[in-house]
Amino acid sequence: MDQLRSILTKLHLIGVARFIDRSVRRVAYSSISVLRSLARLPLVGRGLDPLLTRIDRSGRLSFELGELLRVSRAMSDQNLDYWVAGGWGLDALIGSQTRRHGDLDVVVDRFHENLPRVGELLTGLGYRRKKPLGGTVWFPDAEVYEDGAGHHIEVLNINWAALARAWAAPKEPPHLPTSPAGATSERTPQLLEKCTSRGTLESVSLPVLSLAAQQLFHVGYAGREEDSHAHEIMRLVSEGNSPSSGAASQGAQQPGVNRTRNPTTLLLVPIFTFPPDLTRLCRLHRNDLDLIPPHVTLAFPFLPLAMITDEVVHQLTALFNETPPFDFELGRVKWFATEVVYLEPTKSDAFRSITEAIQDAFPEFHPYEGAFESVIPHVTLSEHGSLAERRVLGRHAPQYLPISSRASRTWLMSNERVPDRWSIVKIFDLGSSTQSLPG
């Protein structure tokens, strides 16, 4: 497969190579789905689960925030000029991780001059150079590095000449080369200001590609879920993370709350520290966590989106600013009868206190429409599919515990656009502080 990809990239048939990669993954996933069905049977399930773990390696390919910060700090310490691009770059612009990421894209200035230093640095961090993927119009060179844990980094050379032509004719599609071959010009201070910015993740300031550059790079992208997600995040960034922006992060499924046909909103604390194998099991057993992360629900149903005024946003901002971030663990698998299998967080009182503060500030809000005497903070593993599927999750989840996490942000989400499909409307910080990487 690597040899075929190498041949296709040399011929500049990047689209064909990616189509083949995706087709192979679809065939593999279809085979896994058959095994998944057999794994639900009580007599053979325990024997097939280890086989599923070995076959479905794609769940291991994720790039965690901690690894991003480790790589970024090392590059900054070496005084390298670089910018985080792709999905992580967009998340830094919005100031919060919004989905799981499979890789890290890093644009390096003076690419050919600095590539040896970057290679030496990544080697020191445990990465090995792989066969290059080949370039695109915007990124004519792309070096690939991977480590033993499946972390994948693409080091990119940016085409400043193509960007200069694009900005020179904003009302018309720029005349761009049809292949990535060709020399790139040096960037000017004006072009650098237009194309680069600063973003923030977990209170760390990072160099990133600007919103304008990201929007240009995504023009004409077709229909993968992550591309749709990118467009929604760019819209939220451009409108200042305001509730009037509508929706910013489409999800394939509602995020672990009881279904409701009436448009409403909810408040939750997202969690991005699930082990990849547990995420894989959730995905295989009817709980898609790719675009809607695991979370602790704080308020559901909250207020109709039409009632989320500037005054409501100010009240929520003040409420969450007064709540300091806190660490917690997911340490036990529990059940609500046989309908919902979930993880119980430590510091439940802290989550419950936030919910009570929301109730005090908004008397019209009643958690779960008053269906329960008390609110039990939890992280849903699954409430869909068959009981047998939920039992598979419940049986295997303990081996991945405890899971450490941190409550640092709250998302306001709405299902107004499409019932049972939730979208980010606003992201609130708990407390407030930002530190910068050098450079």
Whether residue 188 is found in the same domain as residue 72: yes
Q: Do residues 81 and 121 share a domain? A: yes
- Asked if the model's pLDDT at residue 205 lies above 50, the reply is yes
Report residue 438: phi and psi, to 5°: -65, 150
Domain-located, residue 233: no
| Same domain assignment for residues 168 and 316 | no
Residues 68 and 154 in one domain: yes
pLDDT at 59 over 70: no
Boundary-marking domain end, from 55, 73, 97: 55
- pLDDT score recorded for residue 260: 45
Is residue 226 over pLDDT 90? no
Number of domains in the chain: 3
**Is pLDDT of 140 > 60?**
yes
**Is residue 246's pLDDT more than 80?**
no
| 390: CB partners within 8 A, 6+ apart | 285, 338, 340, 341, 381, 382, 383
Stretch 393-406: mean pLDDT: 93
Q: Which residue has the higher pLDDT, 145 or 291?
A: 145
* Inside any domain, residue 229: no
pLDDT for the residue 419: 62
Mean of pLDDT values over 395-415: 93
Residue 104 banded pLDDT, cuts 50, 70, 90: very high
In a domain? residue 371: yes
In angstroms, the CA 18 to CA 415 distance is 33
- What is the dihedral angle through the alpha carbons of 166, 168, 174, 175, rounded to the nearest 10 degrees? -110
Token pair, residue 260, equals: 């409701």
316 and 204 share one domain:
no
Task: Tell me the pLDDT band of 129, cut-offs 50, 70 and 90.
Answer: very high
On whether residue 427 sits in a domain, the answer given is yes
Q: What is the pLDDT of residues 354-376, one digit of tens each?
A: 999 999 999 999 888 877 778 89
Is the pLDDT higher at 287 or at 395?
Answer: 395
The pLDDT mean for the chain works out to: 79
Last residue of a domain, one of 36, 55, 74: 55
Q: 246 with 253: CB under 8 angstroms?
A: no
Q: In this structure, what CATH number is given to the domain that contains residue 266? A: 3.90.1140.10
Tell me the backbone φ, ψ of residue 242, rounded to 5 degrees. -105, 155
The whole-number pLDDT of residue 330 equals: 97
- pTM of the entire predicted model: 0.71
> pLDDT tens across 313-357, in order?
999 999 999 999 999 999 999 999 999 999 999 999 999 999 999
Domain check: are 79 and 44 in the same one? no
Give the type of residue at 106.
V
Q: Hey, which of 251-255, 277-281, 382-386, 405-409 has the most confident mean pLDDT?
A: 405-409
> In this prediction, what percent of the chain has a pLDDT beyond 70?
70
Query: Domain range spanning residue 426?
Result: 243-436
Q: What percent of the chain has pLDDT over 90?
A: 44
Residue given tokens 């939890």 in the structure block: 378
Residue 234 lies in a domain: no
Query: Do 392 and 40 meet the contact criterion of CB atoms below 8 Å apart?
Result: yes
pLDDT, position 21: 56
Whether residue 421 sits in one domain with residue 273: yes
> Looking at the structure, do residues 182 and 326 belong to the same domain, yes or no?
no
Asked whether residue 324 falls in the same domain as residue 353, the answer is yes
| Chain-centre distance for alpha carbon 99 | 2
**Same structural domain, 207 and 75:** yes
| 258 against 109, higher pLDDT | 109
Please report whether residue 146 resides in a domain: yes
| pLDDT computed for residue 326 by the predictor | 95
Burial annotation 394-414 (CB, 10 A radius, 16+ → b, else e)? bebbeebeebebebbbbbbbb
Task: CATH number of the domain at 219, please.
Answer: 3.30.460.40
Same domain flag for 196 and 313: no
Q: Is the pLDDT confidence value at 225 over 70? A: no
- pLDDT surpasses 80 at 399: yes
Domain co-membership, 7 together with 142: no
Q: What is the pLDDT of residue 378?
A: 96
> Residue 209: inside a domain, yes or no?
yes
Q: What mean pLDDT comes out for the span 195-199?
A: 95
Is residue 404 included in any domain, yes or no? yes
State residue 183's pLDDT score: 43
